Structure formats: structure tokens, C-alpha cells
Amino acid sequence: MASDSSPPAAASSPQGPGDKLAVFWHEGMLAHDAGRGVFDSGRDPGFLDVLDQHPENADRVRNMVSILRRGPIAPFVSWHSGRPAHASELLSFHSSEYIEELVQANATGAKKFCEGTFLNPGSWGAALLAAGTTLSAVKHILDGHGNLAYALVRPPGHHAQPDRADGYCFLNNAGLAVHLALDSGRSKVAVVDIDVHYGNGTAEGFYRTENVLTISLHMRHGSWGPSHPQSGSVDEIGEGKGLGYNLNIPLPNGSGDAGYEYAMNELVVPAIDKFQPQLLVFVVGQDSSAFDPNGRQCLTMEGYRKIGQIMRSMANRHSNGQILIVQEGGYHITYSAYCLHATLEGVLDLEAPLLDDPIAYYPEDERYTKKVVDMIKDSWKQSVPFLKDI
């Protein structure tokens, strides 16, 4: 029987700006090494002296850890150790056949699951730590120990579907956390994913579910092969009981800070207000930034900070300030850490920025993005029953 793990009563006010963010981390996740090659391909053409480190590498996360430990946000952060997930915990989201495929791949030493997605020695242990650490983070909230928790994890997870790996991802960390929240008594959970790529794995896992609202803001990249058949288009809105509860926001390349803020306010906020979740899961990827090698969306620290503030405002209205944050992409070794810092400043609802943007200057024109957002809104009014009057 599910325990009663609903948000605290309304008399218990949400966290104030001075409260801390619980960061869950385990350095064993650094052991995953996807190798070197031409960008993420793993290929060596034989005529290049220097190959790329795979974009999903340990250094990007080392900087995220260090900026939270030694940056100006450090006084607002508390640190908690992660743990590996148990095999039985993985079955809430993933099929037993797929988990066995991962176990066998680890036993044989290495396997390429799809383009860019390599399980090498150390990868499976890191993936189990990422899943377990995310479960520990959401349990911190569910058990009433705090309202804000951040699972600083790798390998990422939002492309991992119930029965397959995809896009650097093996286990769907956020999806596992959502199931734990539902099993613990939360009747409705909303996922807001701002990684530059469509959170197709999370969407697939809840595509026929009415008590989980999945929202993904991403660049329009479409399907990229058998491992990623979903397109991320506006018309992928769920099926059966889940019809209308998967909302895709494919944004034009270069949407920038103003474009993303407009999309959040015009699309995400009304949908969340209508759905009224008891927990918000905020899936973050800094690959939407102006300098990321894997995206083209041109967000800066200012844009990430504003998105964090909007998320906090929605959580204060619907889940008594409770937000689980789950790390996904973000591949610029230094700027990703700065954008993470800004995002968490926003979530903490700090009065003023703690860090200046070291490099961002990108002229933006949000007019086209606003037209696209308005078109998406019209589409939702016609096709999503609970949003017909937004």
C-alpha cells in the first residue's frame, strides 16, 4: 500500500530564499568513460592527430561539482551521498529484458548500443549510481527532509526508454524518481525538461498515463534513428488515458533567453496551473546554452536563472515549493557549470545574481520564436482537452 507522502499542509509555508538546496552526488559516477573519436562517434578516421573526448565526459560534471562547492552558491547548498540502485528498483520503469541486456553488456566488457552511446568498463556501475542517487534525492523530499533536491548525476537518463538505450543514456533517472513519488502517495507529478533534446525516454515511459504530465522544451531535431523513433513534434501528445499529458515545445534554433521565457510563461505555466501537480521534477540540461557543442538554442545564464525562478514560482503554488532537479546534458566544459549555477540561483529564489556571465553576448530576435509558441498554444487548445481554455 502506498504511504501518504503528499505535500505538507498549506499552513506549512514553502521554503524561503535562505533555505538550502540538497545536492546528491557520488564520485563513482566519474568512472563512466565513453571514449574518444570524432565528436561522439567513437570513430578514428586515421588522419587526425587529436580526437575529441566524448562530449558526455567526467570533466563537465567535475566542474559542476566544483562550482557548487567553491562558487558563491556554496553557502546555499548541503551535500548528500548517493548510492547505487538495486536491480529491483529499475523495473518500475524498465523492462526486465532490457536490464538483462545491460547486465550482459557489462559482463562482456563493452557494447555500443547506438550512435554515441557506449557502455564501457565502469559505465554500468556509474549508471546504477546515477539511478540510485536520483532515487535518494526524491526520497529526501518525499520523507519531508527538505523541499529542494538536486540529483547531480551522470550518465544522463532522459533518452533511455523502457526497453532501450539512447542518446548517451542507459537508465531513466527522472522516470524512476517519478514512479517512486507515485508509489509514495503523490497523485500527480509533472516533469519539465529543458535539455536541448527531446526527453523522449521519459515521455515514452508515461505516454499512456494520466497522472504524469511530461513537458519538453527542445530544439527541433526530429527522430535520429531506430533508438530515437520519436520526433518531439507538437502532435505527439500521448495515447489512451495519457492523451494530452505529453506536451512538446519544439523551439526554433537560436530561441534565446527571451524566447524561452515567453515559452515558459505562455505554455508551461498555464499547463502546470491546469494540471496542479503535487511534485515538480525539473530536468535540466545546459546544452541549450549559447556555447554548447551539442545544441543551438543560445540560452545564457540570465535565461537559465529566469527559468529557475519560474519553476520555483510554480512549485510554490502547487507543491509547497517542492522541486526535484535532475541533471541531464550540458557539454561545454566550463560554461555548463556557470549555467547550472544560474539555474539553481533561480530555483533558490535569490534576490540578486551571485555570478556574472563570463562570456555571453549573443544578439537575439525572439519574434519568430514567439510566433511558433503562439502556434503551439493554438494547437494545444484544439487537441489537448484539459488545455482548451488556456
375 and 227 share one domain: no
- Residue 323 near residue 314 (C-beta atoms within 8 A): no
Looking at the structure, do residues 257 and 383 belong to the same domain, yes or no? no
Looking at the structure, tell me whether residues 316 and 378 fall in a common domain: no
Q: How confident is the model at residue 7 (pLDDT cuts 50, 70, 90)?
A: low
Contact criterion met (CB below 8 Å) for 341 and 297: no
CB–CB of 229/223 below 8 Å? yes
Same domain, yes or no, for 210 and 312?
Answer: yes
Res 137: pLDDT? 98
**For residue 270, which of 390, 384, 370, 378 has the smallest C-alpha distance?**
390
Residues annotated as part of the active site: 159
309-328: buried (b, 16+ CB within 10 Å) or exposed (e) per residue? bbbbebbbebbbbbbbbbbb
Cβ atoms within 10 Å, residue 211: 18
Segment 208-265, tens digit of pLDDT: 999 999 999 999 888 878 888 889 999 999 999 999 999 999 999 999 999 999 999 9
Same domain for 101 and 142, yes or no, is yes
Same domain, 185 and 116: yes
355: in domain: no
**pLDDT (tens digit, 9 = 90+) per residue, 352-368?**
999 999 998 777 789 99
Domain assignment of residue 60, yes or no: yes
| CA–CA gap between residue 95 and residue 162 (Å, rounded) | 6
Report if residue 89 sits inside a domain: yes
What is each CA distance from 82 to 61, 68, 101, 128, 284, in whole angstroms? 15, 16, 24, 10, 18
Assess whether 165 and 263 both reside in one domain: yes
Please name the residue that has the C-alpha cell 502547487: 318
Amino acid at 368: Y
Does a structural domain hold residue 293? yes
- Model confidence at 9, pLDDT cuts 50, 70, 90, reads very low
Domain membership flag for residue 287: yes
Q: How far apart are the first and last CA of the chain?
A: 36
Cell of 368: 519568430
* Residue 382 belongs to domain spanning: 364-389
Same domain, 370 and 243: no
DSSP code per residue over 153-202: -SS--TT-BTTB-BTTBSS-HHHHHHHHHHHTT-S-EEEEE-SSS--HHH
Residue 14 in any domain: the answer is no
Q: Considering the chain, what percentage of its residues have pLDDT values greater than 70? A: 95
How many structural domains compose the chain?
Answer: 2
- Let me know whether 278 and 144 are in one domain: yes
pLDDT of 18: 47
From CA 118, how far away is CA 41, in angstroms rounded? 10
**Assigned domain for 358 exists:** no
Q: Is residue 274 part of a domain?
A: yes
257: domain CATH number?
A: 3.40.800.20
pLDDT-derived band at 26 (thresholds 50, 70, 90) equals very high
Contact 177, 149 (CB under 8 A): no
Q: Check pLDDT > 80 for residue 16.
A: no
Residues 377 and 232 in one domain: no
pLDDT tens sequence across 65-123: 999 999 999 999 999 999 999 999 999 999 999 999 999 999 999 999 999 999 999 99
184 and 288 inside one domain:
yes
How would you class 215 by CB atoms within 10 Å of its CB: exposed for 0-12, middle for 13-18, buried for 19 or more?
A: buried
Q: Are residues 380 and 328 in the same domain?
A: no
